[in-house]
Every structure is written in structure tokens, then in C-alpha cells.
Structure 1
């Protein structure tokens, strides 16, 4: 991909400016053009397995998701190509939108693109094409979605059709129905669970916030926009902490092949004026994510996005992932809706949270603890509240980071009787420097886990209950498979040097020290924290230069004994 030279004056951290985003969009659109069918209605992209939906649906997916990129880019010549595809696709080429079918997802991308570019595309179509397209989209108004972020696809289609005057009553009903359904999943503080249960991941940003906020913004509905953009603003305060110093998003959750779609909510906050982030910080985080993937082989030799993370990687895929799936990454280009003179494009880049200071941040809704270190730019997520057993291992591990991946090894797990499973996660709370949860493992055993963190150092406690005496327990930590990474795991209580132990009568406590770092010469882990057991089942944990905490591992409660004065924040060094 040919991009302009870095601009290290305006963008000292990433070198990227608006011109880089425009050039990247142009290159991605040019790369997919040869894979369109002669009528431009389907894009049969290379290098990937077919999804469960089949080749025809995959071809529609390739069209719809790259159309969304063209809509953000607003290139009239490219949009003319997609206009031809719309005319052919709605003349019987595209599969119908039906209950819980993949075309429902793609209908939302088509509708959003048409709404964003109405004077450039929709208004220039022949009336017969508009009627066919509206009729094809209208099936989305009554199609039953899966009970998750899919509820917002009829909302997005309905918003466009109501504006276009096609079945306006049904369109508005679909909008109202979908927005009402997602309300029960909003837990406050800017966080949704993606359907019933406790499924927290990037779908918060690139779906559950994106679609309602864009709908309200495009509709000009000020009260509705205030509600949803206010939630987005609250979410961004936490979301900004999910990016490492090298631009990497946290490697957690499903659909990770969407890559730099993680930039979408950052730009959306700027678009609506509801963001806690400075303009230069918004661009630094978004451009950092784009550059992270482009520099690490996200596109193949033809410039096409692959199914994977850096390059092709089946471990981040789901059964619905097809060759066109990675182009939900198009959402990351939403920033091109901001005019060239917007402060997001003109202000100098500013450091993101991971580049400003060492921080341990509790997020109560998902029951997460975020741990970041300025010196190496790593962000670590301690997961004590998110679960989706359909997509293990990207939900069920105890910890994730911006520099590691949870496969193929069973990292950050507790094996009980040889079983590393973690189901029925029950959040027990978060606080200043800690998080706790309880889960089921090993054929019915219960494991109560607490993590305490300071700097790059962690103390992890696990109390195993309801297991037969003599059951083997093994604890794993970080899997450092990246260059320059160092992973450490030291036994403290209940475990041998091989990090294995056995349960006794009743509850059994196991304690380890852990650290993931890219610092070349860290202080010895054993000297960085002390753990003192007490006869009442409690522990005192003292971090060198940091807090002292009193822990009751059996019930997952923590209280501060004392807290050292915080260190002054330091500026991030450009990378």
C-alpha cells in the first residue's frame, strides 16, 4: 500500500494525517475492484474460506462492506461503480433478507451508505432502481434479528427508508422496536452487553453505540442524540484505555478480524461533539490502530484485507466469517466524515492513556481491571465479568493484553482436575487496583479469583471449592509469544515450582505472582511485592512503592490498608 510520507510534526506518534487515511481508503477500494462480478453486484474476494451463509451471501457481504468504505470516502467515481452494483443486485442477484440471515447484516451497511451519500448516489438513481432497492431493503423491517447487536440492523435500514419515504410507518416502527430492545442490555457507564448475559467486547463501540448514535445524528433528533451520544461519551472514557502504545487494540472478544473498525467510536465521539478525548488524542488512537495493522500485514500481496489479525489467522475467526467479513474494518474510516479543517485532523497528536502514565483502572460494568504501563506501552485486561462460551477462548480467560493472544496455549487459566474450562462467571466486584470473580471449573468445582495489580506486577489468588481432596490444580499465566516480551509466573502459596498443587479438605488457596512486560531489565518480580498470610484466611499484599491491600481470597473482597502517593504522570515518547 502506497501512503504519503510520515508527518512527524503534526503527528509525532503515528506520522499519519488525514491524507494517510484517504490514501489507505483509496488503496483498499482499488484492491477489491478486480474481484467484482461484471455487473458489480457481488465481490468474490480471495484468500478465505466461505462462511456458513454460502458464496452468494459472501459476495453480497463483499459489496456491502466495501460500499460503506466508499460512502465514507465520498469518491463519486467509485460510488458510480457501486450504483451499477445496486441496480443489478436488486434485480434478482442478491439473496433476500430473511429472519436471522446474513443479508440482514449487509442490508444495514447498504442502507447506511445510501443515507450518508444520498445526494451522490441515491438521488441520482433511476426511479425504478430506487423502488427495487427500497423493496429489497424493506424486508429488513420485519426480519427477525438474532437477539444481540443484530437488533440495530432493522433500525439502520428503517432510518434510511423513513427518510426516503418508503413505507415510513413500518420503517419508524422498526426503528422504535430495535432501540427499545437494546435498552435492557444497557448497564450504565457507557457499557452494553451484546445480548443477554455478560458479553462485553468491541461490539460496544462498533455496533451498539455506532448505529443508534449515527441514526440520531442523521435524523437530527436532538433528544435521541443526547441520550445515545451521552452514553458514547461515557464509554469513550474507558474505551480509550484499550489501546497499547504501539496502537494495538486489546486482543479480546469475537470478530477481531474487523481490526481497525476499533477506530469508529473514537471518530464518532468527535463527529457528534460528545467525547472526553482531545482532538489530537482521538487521532493518535485511531491512526495508531490503522497503522498497527497496516504495518503488520493486514493486507495480502494484492492489497486485500485477509481473514485474521496481523496476517491470515484462523484463531480469530468465527463460523460466520467469510472473505468479505474483514471489511467491517471500513467503519474505522468514519473519521473521513469530519471536514479537513476539523481539529481532529489539524491538532497535533497527543498521547493516549497508555502513553501518559502507569495506571490500574477498574471498570465496574464489565467487572474488568485495566493495567497499563507507560514504559513498554502494554495494556493488560483482567477479565472478571465477561463471558460468552460460544466463542471461547476470547472471552473466558482471566486476562488478555495488547501484545499476546489466547491461542494456541491455555494461558491465564486455572486447571482443576485437568480441565481449564471457565463457565458461569460471577462478578464479585472491582476496586482501586483489584478485581474479583467466581466461576465453575473441573466438573463442578468453584474457583474464586482475585487479581491485584500495580505497575506491571500482579498478584493472583484462587480459592478452589467443591473439589474432591487430592484434585490436581494447575495455574497458568501469560504466554509471551511476541518479540521482546517477557512473561513470569512465580508460586507463592499452595503450588510447586511447576505451578501445580492439590486440593485439601474444604477450600484450598493458591497464590501466584505474575508479570507481562516488554521492559528489557525489570526489577526482580519476587522483590516487587510481598504476600503475608494471616490466620483468619486473609492476606496482606504490599507492592514496592505502591499500595498495601488486605485481601480475603475466599469471598473476593479487598480493602486498602494504605496507598502510596501517586507518581507524577510523564509524557509519552513518540514511537
Structure 2
């Protein structure tokens, strides 16, 4: 558990959190992982029975890199000194090499970003031999082949640091140009990137695609790049602010949700770089609301660690690439600590979040989503008619998601044709004020066209099945059970009344 200062309801009437609460949370998380460092401090082997597909050594590097990033945002010289000891050993043969599509490429980006952010406090204080070994280890990221998704930005992030540090500058600039050019293919407008080819929309849009591009431009003092990426970030934040429930909970959609309050990184990024449409008080209310939701909900265990899960351990939130230290990607949520105490994001009085102001329906044409929120219960619902994932992940293929429920293996929010819940080749048919539509393939020759109309807390869903043999059973499911919320499924036409339920 984490001990925090008393609530400050004068400046933060909605969450009670101030900068002091964020500092205390960061300090507690950093202190809790320290006992799990190896004697040379190059690896952090966090407890848990799970080993990721990359192996224990890579998982230990992940523990070092992701908590180093938290230390970089906190900028505590004593803590950074401990990570300096790890740099003396890690790149000299302890850490696994950076290879094509290997997990160390991911962690190299965190190491490089942390070193760039804290250069006077950490990098500049290392001796020449340690700097040389670290730069040589990082340099493999410049030519390692990434997966064709947000991974393209890891060589960019490493390249930005190495170019600034004067190491392999030409190769670094080539890696930067290559990665930034690659992601242009995935920008679909209105502040939205797909995470690779296809229609993969999720939180990686904010905590990866926007985060790495905008930070690179900002740290490089490249006005032209920052203007381009900053405009995109600002446009995204106008939508992103609506992804949080009245209780601070982020929408549960997409993979890697065990990163928890990393969802707040783009909020802080907008304030840090001046590219945000949100008032300072609203930015802090959204970010602090998310942090409080997780801390109050039990996301930190009795050892002070972040386990794999959501509000506490939960294997349904785990991917095969997840290791014991994976949740510490949540460190990105502490980006706001780079803003000085006197910045308006810390001094302004909290303002109400969108979900708490009024009932709202908000179309997002780029991903073909529709957001529906109700002030009375603070629940936000996302009607998904544009994002899919070839891995049949329930966090992508459902018709709807919310801030109060998690998808179930039993196919909630689905249309099952002949028992088949397939939902691929989603074709967006548009979205507007209060409606959204799409067509998807169940299996070869069978499609479902879906239209949803919403108002207040009510949803009307209509589905047209084409290509199925006469008499094929069709089952339509609604919301899964959620704590403190109630949903009713009432058939209006074409469905048996026996299917009505709660």
C-alpha cells in the first residue's frame, strides 16, 4: 500500500490530489522495487510466477528500464544514483543484446529517454567508459528491425538521445527519419494513428504514437516537427478527455491495459509542450482521477508493487509478452512531474471532467467509434465499429466497451451467427450525432451490418445478418455484469423474448 498526504479539497475538489500526492506515489513505487534489484543493480527481478515469452533475463532488464523511466520523471538524484550503478554493469554484458524484434529494443527506448531527460543528473556524471558501453549497447537499436507498429518509434527515441550525445550521429539520424516516415502511413487523421497496418485503435495511440513523436520533437527543439505532431496531439486530447469515467476509470479497451495510468501520459504531454485544448485544471483532474481510481482500487499490492492486472492481480489483462515488470510502463503516467511546481497544471483549481458535466454522445469518425456518457453514474461507453485485431482479442472485437465493465470470454456485446462470434474485416459505415454503423464478416459468405442509436443511457442496436442459411440461430448479447451498475437487454424486434436479461 502507498501512504499519501491528506486530501487537498481546496485546490482539488474532485480528486483531492496535488503534486505532493504524485511525488509520494512515485517515491513509494520506486522504493518498493529496490529490494528486487540484483547486487549490481543492472536487473530488477520482480516477484511473480510468470515469465514473459522473452525470458527471465529480458524481464529483469524490463524491470530496470521501466522503473528508471519513473526515476527520470521524479528527478531524485539519490535514486538516479542507484540506476547509475546499474549502467556501470548492465551494458557491459549483463543485459541481453538488442536484436531484431526483441523485447530489449522496447526497453532501450525507455533507457534512452530517461538518459535524455536527466542528462545533467545522470549521463553527464558517468565516467567515459560507462558512457561508451551504454552508447554501444543502445546503438544496436538503430539498425534492429522493429515490429511494424509503435515499435518503429523505439529506434527514433534511441536515435534522438545518441545524436544529442554525439554517438553514431549519422546512423542515429537515419533511424529517426526512417521511423518517423514509417508511422505517417498509419496516421488516419483527427489525432488518430492505427498501431500498424489495419484498424488497430487503442491506447497505444496516446502512450506511444503521440508520446514518442511529440517528446522527440520537443527535446530536439525542432519547431517544425513539434508543430506537426503537436497539432495531432491537441486534436487527440479533445477526444481522449472523454475516455475517463466519473470515478477516474479509463475505458477498458485494447491490449496492455495492465499499464493502467499510463493512459494519462498524453494529458501531461499536452500541458508540457503547450499543445492541448484542455484547461490546466481539467488536465490534472483527469490524470489525478485515474491515479486515484487505481490506488484506491487496490492496483498496488501489500508490497507496494504493481502486479499484472487492473485493480489488483487479474490474468485476463495479461498478454504473452507480459512479464512481472511490464506494469511499470505505468511510469509514463508520471510525465507530469517534469512540469515545475509553479506550472498552472499544478496550481490551477481542478475542473470537472467531461463525464461529470452532462450526458453526452460524441462521434469519433477516424476510428469509427461513438462515445456515450451519462452524468448520473459517470459511466462512459465506447461503441466500437471500427477497431479490430487479428488475434481475436476480446479487448478489440466486442461491439462496445465501458469504464465500468471488462469483456468476458463468454462473448458479451457480440452477435453470434450459428454459434460463431467472429468479427473481422470491419467496414465502417459512418458515425454522427447519436448513431454509428458498420459491417463485419462472421466467416466466409456471412456478414452482419450493425447500427446503434443512443440517447442518455439508452442504446438501440439493430443487426442485419446476410449470407446465413435460413433457420441459422442468431444470438445477440449485451453488457457483462459490472460492479455497481445494471444493464437490461430488451428485444425490440426479430429476437425471442426469452433472450431478455440483465
Q: TM-score, normalised by structure 1?
A: 0.86
Q: Does 1:406 align with 2:407?
A: yes
Higher strand share: 1
Q: 1:48: how far off?
A: 4.5
Distance 2:188 2:317 in 1: 27
Q: Deviations over 1:289-330 (max 9, x none)?
A: 101111111111100100001111111111000001000000
Matched pairs, number: 501
Map 1:54-73 → 2, pairs under 5 A: 54-73=55-74
Q: What CA distance in whole angstroms lies between the structure 2 residues aligned with 1:450 and 1:143? A: 44
Q: How does 1:171-190 map to 2 (within 5 A)?
A: 171-190=172-191
Residue 349 (structure 2) pairs with residue 351 (structure 1): no
Give distance in 2, aligned partners of 1:304 and 1:328: 13
Q: Aligned partners of 2:443, 2:158: CA distance in 1, in Å? A: 46
Ranges in structure 1 where 5+ consecutive residues have no aligned partner: 501-513, 517-575
Alignment-derived partner of residue 282 in structure 2? 281
Tell me how far apart the structure 2 counterparts of residues 69 and 473 of structure 1 sit (CA, whole Å): 49
CA distance in 1, matches of 2:125, 2:23: 24
Q: Who wins on radius of gyration, i.e. which is larger?
A: 1
Which structure has more relative contact order (CA 8 Å, sep 6+)? It is 2
Structure-to-structure mapping, 1:257-268, within 5 angstroms: 257-268=258-269
* Aligned-partner Cα distance in 1 for 2:165–2:482: 52
8 Å Cα contact 1:48-1:307 kept in structure 2: no
Q: How big is the shift at 1:423?
A: 1.2
Task: Name the CA distance, whole Å, in 1 between partners of 2:114 and 2:384.
Answer: 36
Post-superposition CA distance 1:166-210 (Å, at most 9, x none): 000000110000000000000110000000000000000000000
Q: 1:148-547, aligned counterparts within 5 Å? A: 148-390=149-391, 392-441=393-442, 444-482=445-483, 484-499=484-499
Q: In 2, Cα distance between the equivalents of 1:290 and 1:48? A: 26
Question: Residues 148-183 of structure 1, C-alpha deviation per residue, up to 9 Å, x if partnerless?
Answer: 000000000000000000000000110000000000
Q: How far does residue 391 in structure 1 lie from its aligned partner after superposition?
A: 5.1
Residue pair 1:261, 1:330 contacting (<8 A) in 2 also? yes
For the 8 Å contact 2:394–2:409, the answer to whether it is kept is no
TM-superposed CA distance for 1:91, in Å, is 1.2
Cα distance in 1 for residues equivalent to 2:171 and 2:443:
50
1:420-451 deviation per Cα after TM superposition (whole angstroms, max 9, x unaligned): 12111111110111000011115541100000
Contact 2:415 2:475 in 1 (8 A): yes
Structure having the higher helix fraction is: 2
Which secondary structure does the structure 1 equivalent of 2:39 belong to? coil
1:34 aligns with 2:35: yes
Hey, what does 2:81 align to over in structure 1? Answer: 80
Three-state SS of the structure 2 residue aligned to 1:95 is coil
Encode CA deviations 1:8-50: one digit per residue, 9 max, x unaligned.
1110100000000000000000000000000000000012410
Number of the residue aligned with 1:46: 47
Partner SS, residue 391 of structure 2: helix
What is the root-mean-square deviation of aligned Cα atoms in Å? 1.1
Partner of 1:105: 106
**CA distance in structure 2 between the aligned counterparts of 1:207 and 1:48, rounded to whole angstroms:** 28
**Aligned to 2:440, what secondary structure does the other structure show?**
strand
| 1:507-541 superposed Cα distances (whole Å, 9 cap, x missing partner) | xxxxxxx9x9xxxxxxxxxxxxxxxxxxxxxxxxx
Is this contact kept in 1: 2:308–2:324, CA < 8 A?
yes
Structure 2: 5+ residue stretches without partners: none
1:382 alignment partner, SS class: strand
Contact 2:29 2:305 in 1 (8 A): yes
Distance 1:21 1:125, change over 3 A: same
Residue 77 of structure 1 and its aligned partner are, at CA, apart by: 0.3
From the superposition, tell whether residues 391 and 87 of structure 1 become closer, same or farther in structure 2 (CA, over 3 Å). farther
Distance of 1:314 and 1:407 partners within structure 2: 12
Which residue pairs with 2:124 in the alignment? 123
Task: Return the TM-score normalized by structure 2.
Answer: 0.99
Deviations, residues 248-286 of structure 1 (Å, cap 9, x unaligned)? 000000000000001100000000111010000000000
